């Protein structure tokens, strides 16, 4: 079974791998190396059950992931207590294109819409889906302030930001519970954010750990095993989000994540 780690000082424990669900709801405007078909309900349910049976308790979604939230609302019925749900605000995806709205009004609307779509009374983690202007979003829009308010209202348990810059990541960590940053074998520039979060007891989620599937194309030493060894050796990392819809890939990732935590 996958180990779990504290999500900062939020009181939430998450499996070291989380299941990303963009591929359950969106197949346009994505940056994966191979085309894919969105799984039907039976295939999606089998994938989620496999994840749960092997210890994954974190599931990652977003309004920008097409129908992902709505589908999860159905797929997770009867097992809500087994899952830590992470969703987002800020990015919308309509008619094949993304657009962003970081206003407090839209932030509240987005969270309340996600609650309905997911069929839950509380979302465990909500992150701001940054467009890359991390610092401006934090300083100019009041997005994090609104998420803090929604937390006091009991609609979310923890909040933070999926950032794209070191400066934005540090600022987001200072002003919220958690950050999501990119870290993989080809990119480690946001590592100072992870270090800061460890010192300040903030949660850290890793995105693009396998470079959106491109890492698996590397020839030679197993890039998945090497990636997980690198990431999970850092005590500041709470979880890495893996967005596969292939059951064999998921099982392989789980096995290698477990191995990475016991190998010396």
Residues 178, 147, 10, 69, CA torsion sign: negative
The CATH number given to whatever domain includes residue 41 is 3.20.20.100
Would you state the pLDDT for residue 30?
A: 75
Mean pLDDT to the nearest integer, 121-125: 98
Tens-place pLDDT, residues 60-92: 999 999 999 999 999 999 999 999 999 999 999
Total domains, the chain: 1
Residue 249, helix vs strand vs coil: helix
Residue 212 confidence (pLDDT) above 90: no
To 5 degrees, how large is the angle CA 244–CA 11–CA 145? Answer: 85
CA 216 to chain centre: 20
pLDDT tier for residue 215 given thresholds of 50, 70 and 90: low
Alpha-carbon span 128 to 136, nearest angstrom: 12
pLDDT tier for residue 263 given thresholds of 50, 70 and 90: low
pLDDT tier for residue 95 given thresholds of 50, 70 and 90: confident
Residue 264 confidence (pLDDT) above 80: no
Mean pLDDT to the nearest integer, 99-119: 98
Cα–Cα distances in angstroms (integers) from residue 86 to residues 18, 90, 168, 215, 260, in the given order:
10, 14, 20, 24, 24
Mean pLDDT to the nearest integer, 194-205: 98
Structural domain harbouring 147: 4-262
Would you state the pLDDT for residue 220?
A: 64
Catalytic residues: 65
Q: Which long-range contacts (C-beta less than 8 Å, at least 24 apart) are formed by 218-225?
A: 218/185, 222/256, 223/185, 224/252, 224/253, 224/256, 225/256, 225/259, 225/260
Stated pTM of the model = 0.94
Would you state the pLDDT for residue 168?
A: 98
pLDDT tier for residue 35 given thresholds of 50, 70 and 90: confident
pLDDT tier for residue 33 given thresholds of 50, 70 and 90: low
Mean pLDDT to the nearest integer, 114-133: 98
């Amino acid at each position: 079974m996958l180990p779990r780690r504290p999500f900062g000082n939020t009181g939430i424990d998450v499996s070291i791998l989380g299941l990303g669900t963009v591929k359950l709801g969106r197949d346009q405007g994505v940056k994966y190396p191979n085309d894919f078909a969105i799984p039907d309900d039976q295939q999606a349910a089998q994938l989620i059950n496999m994840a749960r049976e092997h210890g994954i308790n974190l599931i990652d979604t977003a309004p920008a992931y097409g129908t992902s939230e709505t589908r999860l609302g159905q797929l997770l019925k009867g097992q809500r207590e087994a899952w830590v749900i992470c969703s987002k605000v800020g990015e919308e995806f309509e008619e094949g294109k993304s657009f962003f709205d970081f206003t407090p009004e839209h932030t509240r609307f987005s969270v309340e819409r996600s609650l309905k779509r997911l069929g839950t009374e509380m979302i465990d983690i909500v992150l701001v889906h940054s467009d890359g202007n991390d610092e401006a979003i934090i300083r100019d829009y009041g997005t994090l302030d609104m998420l803090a308010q929604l937390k006091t209202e009991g609609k979310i348990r923890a909040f933070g930001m999926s950032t794209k810059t070191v400066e934005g990541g540090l600022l987001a960590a200072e002003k919220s519970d958690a950050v999501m940053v990119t870290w993989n074998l080809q990119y480690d520039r946001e590592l100072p954010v992870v270090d800061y979060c460890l010192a300040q007891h903030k949660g850290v989620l890793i995105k693009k750990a396998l470079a959106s599937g491109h890492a698996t194309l590397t020839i030679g030493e197993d890039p998945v095993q090497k990636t997980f060894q690198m990431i999970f050796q850092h005590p500041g990392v709470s979880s890495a989000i893996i967005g596969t819809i292939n059951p064999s890939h998921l099982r392989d990732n789980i096995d290698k994540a477990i191995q990475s935590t016991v190998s010396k």
